[in-house]
Structure 1
Amino acid sequence: MTAAERAERTEAADRLCRTAYAAAFGPGAPGGGAEAGVALVAVGGYGRGELAPCSDLDVVLVHEDHVEVDEAAATLWYPMWDAGVRLDHSVRSLAGMVDAAEADHRVAAGLLDARHVAGDPNLTLRLRTTMLAEWRRGARERLPAIKQATDTRHRTIGELAHLSVPDVKEAEGGLRDATTLRALVATWLVDVPTTDLETGRRVLLDVRDVVHDLAGRATDRIVPEAWEPLAEALGLPDDRAAQRHVREAGRRLTHLSRLAWRRVDGVLTRPRSPGARRPRLERLAPGVSLAAGEVVLNRHADPATDPALLLRAATAAAERGVDLAPATAARLAREAAPLPEPWPEEARRLLVRLLASGRGLLAVWETLEETGALGGVLPEWERIRMLPHASVIHRFTVDRHVVETCVEASGLIRSVGRPDVLVVAALLHDIGKGGLTEHSVAGEPIARTVAERIGFDAEAVDLVGLLVRHHLLLPEVATTRDPDDPATVEAVTSRVGSTEALDLLRALTEADAKATAPQAWTTWRAGLVSDLVRRARVVLDTGAAAPPPARDLAGEVVLPAGIGDDEVSVSVEPLADGTRVTAVARDRVGLLADVSAVLALQRMPVRAARAWSQGEPPHQLGISVWEVTAEAADPAVLRERFDAVVGGRVDVTRRLAPRGRSDGALAPSVVVRPEASDHATVLEVRAADRPGVVHLVCATLAGLDVAVRSAHVDTLGPQAVDVFYLQEPAAGALSETRAADAAHAVRAALTAGG
């Protein structure tokens, strides 16, 4: 798809419109000969000559106030409808067009692209001239409303560079933003790099053309299965190259849009003054000043002799929450002297300050990327630039996620002894992604190399390497291991080695999770990690045994009087983001299967859960605490449903059977983890999250007469990660044969259950 093909489609549409116009307004037609004072005008994408294969034709029949066109206009559209064309049409007087534009900024912006198709060219010229003059005259009053509408659209749809199903028109960084940027330029209040804007627009126009052809309809969304044929149509190597191609164009337009709107804000907040004045320079640091809301270089700054100048300028901008002027960053990318290795102390301190600057980092880092200046500071960045995450729970591509992690880490620097190590580790924690090796393993040597290059001493280099290597350790252990098992805390202390590293790891864990998605750092997860860190700290500080875990229930749990052997006590607690359900009953094989069945039958999606036993047989209790993403239910209803399940009055298997299967779904993973416990057999299950997964696993184990000593359920995005500590009902851990049989049975049940 090329601009030439779009021009051909536009010309074909023009011929159709002219023919229809001639039939409606030519000699002998109703209102015949009404050439003067009437014009058929193309607007929107048709006006710009950017018709995609399935685009509508946006046209307006404009007429002078004194010219009557109703009779002829009634016949104008029929030939185009008969030709199968989708029309978005209207009839307005010239004065009516002006009134409509004054009342609605969307109409006013759309008319900036008005193009003559047929009729009176002088009327079209008057329309264009009038609309452009009105647009410029009323720009200061219109721009706040346009900005608000743009922000709302961005919040609603998301950013093109990061959406799993990107919308090349409406998403932030899409074609709608490109059109808005052209309208901003037309106000004469701000400027936008035209070459960059048009390059990004052409990329997305080509992409949209292919998407229309692939879908056979007017759509702007790229579904996952379209990436490979899109790559082929665009002459790109593979689907990953196609994603990068599209997302880079979107990110570039996002950068231009944000920059333009920040400049608009500066224009609107500055008082008007007659005549042009040179912006006042405010000195910020050696070689760096602030001018018109952007950080620029002083007149006498010399990038060739000041290798830290780029970092100094970037840090000054980020700490003040202002822009690093793109022209300044581009000049420094071309002319700056390379930093010596290892870096001087000033450069390292500037990098740390930049990374710890908070939200101001985002715009500055974006400018460093888009101008090519980042390559001189961190060449390893190319490994993760525009790299999609394998997990759909991530809101951003890997590179943007890393910057967001730095932003989150900046709010935690006072909780650690080495804030400089924390923010650098946040920058590098995912640097190993994109290869075949586990990214934390692959990232450690890269992170060590970078830490040495920027001038950290050996101790700090070791800390950075440790944090990158084990940045997933705390959430994995906290959410998938039994806190009562001594091996759980030992899994942390044996790898971390010191309380200093533990504090850093805890802060990095929180920052990483918050930068991933809201559901990655819930109150539940935060509590589990904090409790694990608390217990590990005692071991590292004193060498004593780990203290007992904090429980979801305070003190010893007592079964209420009158609860029989096959009955359950249920309590329900509303939470800010869901509901906590606590179930207590006489412990037995299959209890957890029955409780999980109740929640699944009530359509209460489980976000996380913990289950454990208390006491000794025959008075042992089974306790489970469930966090569900549903409104609080009546405990009496849950107890009744439990009685029905236990009594066999509900066919749980049939009721929880999946309604459909996806042939492309990932196979479930069921693995025995012998290193996780000396007292029990640990079974780790990873499967697509759906109602009844926990029940299916527990019911399968109960059918083998295997007891679930404790369970640790965690749902992250579309995947359930559930860990079960298994024992024979009265004989400890399973034998290797029994463990293998249990794993095979669970795997078979999950596979058969879809």
Structure 2
Amino acid sequence: MPLTPTSSLAPSARERLTQVGRSRAERTRAADGRLRSLLSDAFAATGIPPTAGGVSVVALGGYGREELSAASDLDVLLLYDDRCPDVAAVAERLWYPLWDDRVALDHSVRTVAETSEAAAGDLRTALSLLDARHVAGDAALTIQLRTTLLAGWRRTAPRRLPELERSCRERAVRVGEIAALLEPDLKEARGGLRDGVVMRALAATWLVDVPQVNIARLRSGLLDVRDVLHEVGGRRPTDRLRADLQADVAAGCGLPDRDALLRYVYHLGRTMSHTADIAWRRAGRALAGRSVRRGSRTRPRPGPALTPLGPGVAAVDGEVVLAPEARLGTDPLLPLRAAYAAADHGLLLAPHTADRLGSTPATLPTPWPAEARRLFTALLGSGPDLLAVWETCDQAGLVNDLVPEWDRVRCAPQYSPVHRHTVDRHLLDTCVEASRLVRRVYRPDLLLVGALLHDLGKGERGERGDRDGEGGEPGRPARDHSVTGAEIAARLAPRWGFDQADTATLVLLVRHHLLLADTATRRDLDDPTTIRQVAAVVGDADTLDLLAALTEADARATGPAAWTPWRAALVGRLVGHVRRHLERGQVPAPGPLAQWQRALAREHVPGVVVEPPEIDGEPFRITAVAPGRVGSLATVAGVLALARLSVRSASVHTDGDVGVSIWTVAGEPPDPAVLRERLDAALSGRDQVAPRVARMDATHAAHGRPGLTAPADVRVASGASAAATVLEVRAHDRPGLFHQICAAVAATGCSVRSAHVSTWADNAVDVFYLTRPQGGPLDDGVAAQVAESIRTALDDRGTNR
């Protein structure tokens, strides 16, 4: 069910705000009546017949939009032409009585041509004139003015819209965003009343479809709050919702407290900002398309074609939509697939698509299947494009299906100036920051989910933060949000399909996400007891890496004051001490082969067995047998990649002179006989796999977003094994990644004793046990050379992208 800003208001608050809106309408009607009466008196005094024409009174700006507050100026234009014999006398009869009444008047006297010239010369004037509304006099003259102004606006839109968008960005930088300010400016801040005016102007260009009914509803909500703010402000009304006025404004709006007021205002502003972002993106594409059509000598092509992005999901004209074959209402993965496709490709998730998905839900089973969990964590790891996609999903009511506890943090204010954003936006910003740190951890999915969950315990009355500078609203009892968040994580993680061990890790991350920052800044790092206490909490080095990355992501998302070089150095020093105290656990070795797999290895070289998935669409297993020579593993990986199979995990075993690899893959289950023939052709050299995989990677890269993936991280895990050298590779996943790494290892002459491939979100974490041809670990120098060879190969591929 799509969300609306008023959906959480109590009936009493809705009634009170409705009364405020009625008062605003009454002020407009009163002003209209006064001006009509004054113009009638002016006609009588000057002897001009009312039916003569040639003069009209036009309301502009906020008055033209019928948005008069108690503190608003009366913006009035006296419009005339050569049929009016004495416009100066008419003007005097209009303005002087208003001045005598101490009305704040912004007036002008112009012809249609003069008004059109003023609009052409100044953007702000043009916006005000677009809201021209007839009040009294010659209605035909007002219609002529509006027709002229709108025609000029539409004609000059390609030139003026970039200027208007630039001014909006500059204003946002100067004033800030409504949902990021403890004292937001309801008019000028991003997402405020000024943006609503801009959206009206954008709609007037006819270039894009702007949801004007929604914009009007959002503006009405902000105007209601501003009207109450002006009443509370007394003789010095302000558009800034000052902290010392918030409690009184909340009461005037029928809301229980300032927390409820800020949530309401933030929701209005966030929705306005999101709507404006969508409109500007579409306007940009429309202007670009118009330029291409005008510059092309060819006939315009028919409408844009659908580009498939996944089952039931496609892209068209820069937006992700549902494909014709989409199983709406019966495919529970469809919303996640659409959201991830949009974020991964940097596209807009079409609002009407999100609304359709939200109004026709297909419930995910509990616990979630593995593919749902993969799509969810991949969405969280998609970087900055997560923000717009998540907001679209939230506006459509999809987020509550994914994270039932999201209501508690949606638009929840944070009363510390250290924080830049509301609780929900902070959680998403932490995911964005964590997506840049996934190379540092063995389980990126746990880092990303921990980022989403870490402050979910905030939002309800009484929760507080524990970092320096944080805190709940003054006067409220303090309660540790980390404890509440850990309880929420313990409920949500099993629902999302995480097993008991992963759930315990997520609970630990949420419960102790402030541990490193607090300890580093409040304890003696040279005291052995301090180190032992932290080590006892984290338990192992992998969890320490997760907690360290979450600490940094959380602090960076909070604001510059939370992650200074001093704090970063202290946390780094603490992590180093704890790491040295802990004994790094061995990378898990592959489990023993099943009896049938050993039999396959003895009887069939090459051999392939495909175990079909238990549920259609779920990952499945493939066992492949190949000669245990250097390079065979790369060949098998290449054959699987060319079969359009996405690797989720794999383990490799060497049994004598035969290699047995067990793969968990996603895709369409292949015919085992066909796959065996392809493997045989590749192993015998009849089919050159490497060039074909390279071409597939190039195609994949061409549809991605160049420059947005971090460089590969290749490291030697010292002391992880006494029998082999353990090499860890973290890189952005792509179809031919595992093949490329194996080929780079083979080129060095090393043997792969075993390998462990994991794909978390859109990142691969591959661990290789390497030995010399005659067995035993590599020399340190050789290991460093192998690591550098792999790093160079992956970076070259990244550059080619």
Aligned 1:283-682 pairs, distance under 5 A? 283-435=308-460, 436=462, 437-541=479-583
Tell me the distance in 2 between the aligned counterparts of 1:485 and 1:200.
Answer: 56
TM-fit CA distance, 1:65: 6.1
**Structure 2 vs 1, CA of residues 477 and 486 (structure 1 numbering), >3 Å: closer, same or farther?**
same
Deviation at 1:71, TM superposition (A): 5.3
Contact residue 24 and residue 32 of structure 1 kept, 8 A: no
Q: Quick check: 1:91 aligned with 2:133? A: no
Which SS does the other structure have where 2:106 is aligned? strand
Cα–Cα, structure 1 residues 513 and 65, in superposed 2: closer, same or farther, change >3 Å?
A: farther
- Once the two structures are superposed, what CA deviation does each residue of 1:45-82 show, in whole Å capped at 9, x if it has no partner? 10111101111101122222685634553554221111
Percentage of pairs with the same residue: 52
User: Retained in 2: the 8 A contact 1:412–1:507?
Assistant: yes
Could you tell me how far 1:265 is from its partner in structure 2? Answer: 1.4
Q: Is the 8 A contact 1:162 1:396 kept in 2?
A: yes
State the one-letter code of the partner of 2:538.
V
Task: State the match for 2:636 in structure 1.
Answer: none
Measured after TM superposition, the shift of residue 275 of structure 1 is 8.0
Match of 1:265 in 2: 284
Displacement after TM superposition at 1:172 (Å)? 1.2
Displacement of 1:367 after TM fit?
A: 0.5
Residues in 2 aligned to 1:249 and 1:542: alpha-carbon distance in whole angstroms: 50
- Aligned twin of 1:57: 74
Partner of 1:230 in structure 2? Answer: 249
Inter-CA distance 276–185: structure 2 relative to 1 (3 Å threshold): farther
| Structure 2 unmatched runs, 5+ | 1-18, 463-478, 586-801
The whole-number CA distance in structure 1 between the counterparts of 2:493 and 2:451 is: 12
Residues 659-698 of structure 1: per-residue CA shift (max 9 Å, x gap): xxxxxxxxxxxxxxxxxxxxxxxxxxxxxxxxxxxxxxxx
Distance 1:528 1:82 in 2: 68
> Are 1:247 and 2:258 counterparts?
no
Correspondence list, 1:11-90, <5 A: 11-28=29-46, 36-64=53-81, 69-70=87-88, 72-74=90-92, 76-90=94-108
SS in 1 for 2:251: helix
Could you tell me how far 1:350 is from its partner in structure 2? 0.5
Question: Contact 1:26 / 1:34 at 8 angstroms: preserved in 2?
Answer: no
Quote how far apart the aligned CAs of 1:22 are.
4.2
Using a 3 Å threshold, how does the CA distance of structure 1 residues 77 and 483 change in structure 2: closer, same or farther? same
2:718 corresponds in structure 1 to: none
**1:160 correspondence with 2:178:** yes
Shift in alpha-carbon separation, 1:375–1:33, aligned structure 2, 3 A: closer
Q: For the structure 1 residues 213 and 92, does the alpha-carbon distance in structure 2 shift closer, same or farther, using more than 3 Å as the test?
A: same
**Partners of 1:219 and 1:277 in 2: CA distance:** 52
Coordinate RMSD, CA, aligned: 2.2
Native 8 Å contact 2:40 2:50 kept in 1: no
State the alpha-carbon separation in 2 of the partners of residues 74 and 84 from structure 1: 15
Structure 1: 5+ residue runs without aligned partners?
A: 544-754
Q: Secondary structure at the residue paired with 1:51?
A: coil
Letter in 1 for 2:404: P
Whether the 8 Å CA contact 2:57–2:134 is kept in 1: the answer is yes
In structure 2, distance between residues paired with 1:476 and 1:248: 32
| Deviation sequence 1:105-155 (CA, Å, 0-9, x none) | 222221121112233222111101111121222222211111111111111
Measured after TM superposition, the shift of residue 276 of structure 1 is 9.5
TM-score, normalised relative to structure 1: 0.69
Asked if the contact 2:215/2:272 (under 8 Å) is kept, the reply is yes
SS at match of 2:183: coil
Secondary structure of 2:45's partner? coil
Cα 1:79–1:413 shift into 2, 3 Å: same
Which amino acid in 2 is paired with 1:485?
Answer: D
Query: Following the alignment from structure 2 to structure 1, what is the Cα–Cα distance between the partners of residues 300 and 209?
Result: 18
1:3 aligns with 2:33: no
In the alignment, the residues of structure 2 paired with residue 33 and residue 340 of structure 1 have an alpha-carbon distance, to the nearest angstrom, of: 73
User: Cα gap change, 1:166/1:358 in structure 2, threshold over 3 Å: closer, same or farther?
Assistant: same
Map Cα deviations across residues 709-734 of structure 1 (whole Å, 9 max, x no partner): xxxxxxxxxxxxxxxxxxxxxxxxxx
Whole-angstrom distance in 1 between the partners of 2:521 and 2:83: 76
Q: Secondary structure at the match of 2:365?
A: coil
Which amino acid letter does the alignment assign opposite residue 174 of structure 2?
Answer: T
Q: Larger RCO: Structure 1 or Structure 2 (Cα < 8 Å, ≥ 6 residues apart)?
A: 2
Instruction: Indicate if the aligned counterparts of 2:423 and 2:459 stay in contact, CA closer than 8 A.
Output: no
Shift of 1:383: 1.8
Cα offset, 1:497, TM superposition? 1.3
SS at match of 1:116: strand
Equivalent residue number for residue 145 of structure 2: 127
Aligned residues: 542
**1:73 to 1:32, Cα distance in 2 relative to 1, 3 A:** farther
Amino acid at match of 1:262: R
CA drift at 1:477: 1.1
